[in-house]
Structure formats: C-alpha cells, structure tokens
Amino acid sequence: MVKMMLFEDNTSVGLHFLFKFSISILAVETALTASTAYPKTSKLLPCWKRLVISCCAEYPILLQDVARLLSKLMRLHFTHICLQFDWMDGQREHVLANRLAFSLKNLMWILVTTSLTNPGWLGAYTWHVTLVTVAMFMVIWNAAQYYSEEKEAEDNVARLPPLDIDIDSNGAQPFVVLSFQRSGSNLLCGRLHNHQQIVMHNEIWNKAKIWTYDDFKADSSWEWDIFRRDTNPAAFLAEIFSRIPSSKAHAKAVGFKLFPEHFTSANGPVLRQLLADSRVKKIILERKDVLQLYVSKLRADKTGGYLSEKLDGISVHVDPASFQAFVEYHHQCFEFLHAFLQSQQVHYVTYEEIAHHSTADDSVNAILRFLGVHDMQTPRALDATTKQSTRPIVEGITNYPQLRTAFHLHPKLGKWIN
C-alpha cells in the first residue's frame, strides 16, 4: 500500500512537472514567435490584430512538431526523436543559425520550468523576467534590423538623381501603369489606347521586343530596337514620352506599362528613377485573386498565348511551394509600391473592377479623369482582348484538392480556394 501511494505521488509529481514544462514551452515559443512575427505583419491592420496574429503564428508549427513526434513514437523510431525536421537542411548558414536558435529555446524552457517549480520569491518572478528579457531582446533586434533595411532603402531612393530628360515638353501628361502579368493590363491599356487623347504604349521594356499599339516602324525617323534601347534607356524613355503620332495630334497623356521583372533588367536604374519621379503619374493595377493570376500565367507560359487565345482546354499543375513563394513576392511588390508612392499622384484600380461589366466603365472613366483627359465617351476594349478562360478554377488545376488542403485556412487565399 505504501509503495502504491509513493508511486501515485511520484506519478502526480511527474505529471505536474510535465504540465509545467509544457506550459513553459508554450510560453517561450509564443513570446519568441510573437516578438519576431509582429514586425512582419501588415502595417495596415490595427495593433491588436497584429498582436493576435503574432501570438498565434507559432501554434500551427507546434502542432506539426507534436504530430511528427507522435508519428515517430507510434512507429517506434526512437532514434529519430531528437532529429528536427527541416526542409532547409544542407544549407550551412541556415543550419548553424537554426542550431543556435534551438539551443536558446531549450535554455529558455529549462529556466522557465525551474522557476515554475521553485516556490520561493525567485521562482515566482524569474520566468516573468526571462520571458520579458527574451521578448525585449527579440523586439529590439527585429526593430533594429527593419530600421536598418528601411533606412538603407530610403537612402538608396534619396540618392536617385531625377530623370535628366524633358518628359513633358509636348504638354502631354506622362504616366505609367504598374502591374503584374495576367492582371488585366492588356484590357486596361487597350481601352486607354482607344481614347483619342491618350498615347498608350504596351510593354515597351520587354526583353524580346518593343511592344506598342502605334506602329512607329512606319515612321522613317524611328530608329529604336531593343539593342539601342538597352544601350541608352534614358534617351529611349525621352523619345517615348515626347513622340506623338499624327493620328493623336491633340493627345494629353502618354504612357506605358511596367512589370516587376523590368526593374531587375539592365534598364532597372532608369526605371527606378522613373518610379521616383513625381512628374510621372502612376496607375497601380492589382488582381486580388492571386490564384487566378498564377494559373493564367502558367497557362500563358505553357502555350505562348498572352492576348487573344482561349485557354479553357489547358489544365496546369500548381506546385504549392512555388505558389506560396509567388504569393509572398506579389504581396511584397504591392506593399513596396503603396509605401514608396504614398506622396505621389497615384490611382489604384483592380482587375476585378475593370473586368466586371457593372463597374468597368466607371473604373475607366475615373482613370481618364485622373490623367486629365475628357471622359465624355468611354473607350471600348480592343477586339483582340478576350477573357482567356471562363472555366471554374477547380477544373483548370489538376491538383486542386492538394491546394485546397494546403491553403484553405490561409488568411489571404482562403476565400479564393473553396
């Protein structure tokens, strides 16, 4: 009987210690993750929402770790219990940083558990001090890192010299459409081109060809090709903004479109100056349904059809990891534009607005007023511009169930993956 009572007491003590140890792990992980995740949450959200998101960020990862641990125990893979799953294994710098972080967390777990089991004054406050110290260290570290990155970006922008070209000598307002491929830029640019007071070029910075709606090749004075353009991009930009075709002699606005990849090309420095030039009005066109955008891009890349081809019969496989990387890249690009252009003349419009028949004309008219041209007659779309797919997205992706499993709880993509 005595042995049984001792056994029960020891079991109770062990379970109590295990419970405290679990609480300490949860507390440390939440503090570390929250302090790291908070600066990375959207600044457009209220502070309390950012704090809740930051505190909850670790729980899915913890659940995954618990599931892996149970799986190893059920399969009797005891030698794998101490092996941490990490898809980035093999990258020396990451592994070293990961081991240091893992050691720090282990130390925090031990300190917190020890303080929880100590009934004295030290035990009552040590774990508070530990968590606060770690959290403050992480907050200061992340704040310093982000401040350094933002300061470097601001310094780089401040060092950008203004465009040394006369971009409004003809009296026409220069502008640029900033967007992603497959976001409705052909639809929007085609409608603007059909306005008699707008000279609308297309993807003039394409690496393979200077795409424009006006056939400048018929003009004997036009001497530009991609090689000369890339040799002297500033002069090419001045030519684009100053040249008015005879068919639009009374044009009041001249513009073209830009994609993120254009800024990473050899012409990037000039285009970044253009982005910083407040004389140039900016139209930001965003497609909110990023899954549709990504699938459309995969179809177009697969077939080479970017404008008028119907792609309903083309199904694609969407790799979850690649799609996740694209979503983050897409978000970062627009977040940068919103922050960088906040003091300039900017008009925001979405693909969903210009593509839907009930809002398309009003959206285009708003852009016309922004550019300073008359909106008495709304221009129609080009005949060559057609909606390339009307199939439900679920029918166009071969591994849609896999995507739904991966992203149906995603805060941004969940509403597009049902």
Is the per-residue pLDDT at 139 higher than 60? no
Q: What is the mean pLDDT of the chain?
A: 77
Q: Are 215 and 270 contacting, i.e. CB atoms less than 8 angstroms apart?
A: no
Q: Are 58 and 66 contacting, i.e. CB atoms less than 8 angstroms apart?
A: no
Name the band, by pLDDT with cuts 50, 70 and 90, for residue 144.
low
Per the model's pLDDT, the better-predicted residue between 76 and 240 turns out to be 240
Please report the pLDDT score of residue 301 as a whole number.
81
Is the per-residue pLDDT at 373 higher than 80? yes
Is the per-residue pLDDT at 21 higher than 70? no
Q: Are 333 and 260 contacting, i.e. CB atoms less than 8 angstroms apart?
A: yes
Least confident of 6-10, 44-48, 102-106, 411-415: 6-10
User: What is the CA 297 to chain-centroid distance, rounded?
Assistant: 16
Put simply, whether the predicted model's pTM sits higher than 0.75 gets the answer no
Amino acid at 203: E
Distance CA 80, CA 82 (A): 6
Distance CA 257, CA 283 (A): 9
Please report the pLDDT score of residue 149 as a whole number.
57
Per the model's pLDDT, the better-predicted residue between 119 and 259 turns out to be 259
Total residue length of the chain: 418
Of 144-148, 220-224, 286-290, which one has max mean pLDDT? 286-290
Please report the pLDDT score of residue 382 as a whole number.
80
Q: List phi, psi (to 5°) of 59.
A: -60, -45
Name the band, by pLDDT with cuts 50, 70 and 90, for residue 349.
very high
- What are the residues whose beta carbons fall under 8 Å from the beta carbon of 263, sequence distance 6 or more? 271, 272, 275
* Predicted confidence (pLDDT) per residue in 278-333, tens digit: 899 999 999 999 998 999 888 888 776 555 566 667 888 999 888 888 988 998 89
Please report the pLDDT score of residue 320 as a whole number.
87
